[in-house]
Amino acid sequence: MSESIESRLLEAAKAERTGDRIGALSTLSEVLREQPGELRALLAAARLHQELGQAREAAEYLKTLDVGQLKPDLLLDALLLRAEIARDLQLTAEQRAAIDEALALDAYCWPARLMLGEWLERSGQPKEAARTYRDTLRIAPPPAYRPDSHKAR
């Protein structure tokens, strides 16, 4: 990977941290024009679109990901994002499939377990949802150690 792409990925991450999601997306678009299959840029762009409420656009970015090239940590991120996008698009079967894939990869992935609890709750299974939430609270790290995206959960 060229230094130029690496520096622009860092620039996009910095823009996102400072709240400039549009600037981050612009920088990621530049990276993807130069390197269309850049996995981290595709994943970051999909996540930003999802956070901006643009689930359809996010889904398009995820469709172009070559999941066979993803390392386990990025694969887990992609599966969690796919589950969130499917939820936003009200694709319940696809959401459950992504959650199950994430849990197959890491049975102790507490964000995936939270999503499973939410899915069970919306699917009319409140007792199973409550058990899932209870078990998730047992394995989740203390709030101070959670990523910003999960501190309010």
pLDDT digits (tens, 9 = 90+) for 76-107: 999 999 999 999 999 999 999 999 999 999 99
> Within its chain, how far is the Cα of 62 from the centroid?
10
Q: Is 151 exposed, middle or buried (0-12, 13-18, 19+ CB in 10 A)?
A: exposed
pLDDT over 50 at 153, yes or no: no
pLDDT digits (tens, 9 = 90+) for 135-148: 999 998 887 777 66
pLDDT digits (tens, 9 = 90+) for 31-70: 999 999 899 999 999 999 999 999 999 999 999 888 788 8
Residues 72 and 57: beta-carbon distance below 8 Å:
no
Whole-prediction pTM value? 0.86
Residues 11 and 27: beta-carbon distance below 8 Å:
yes
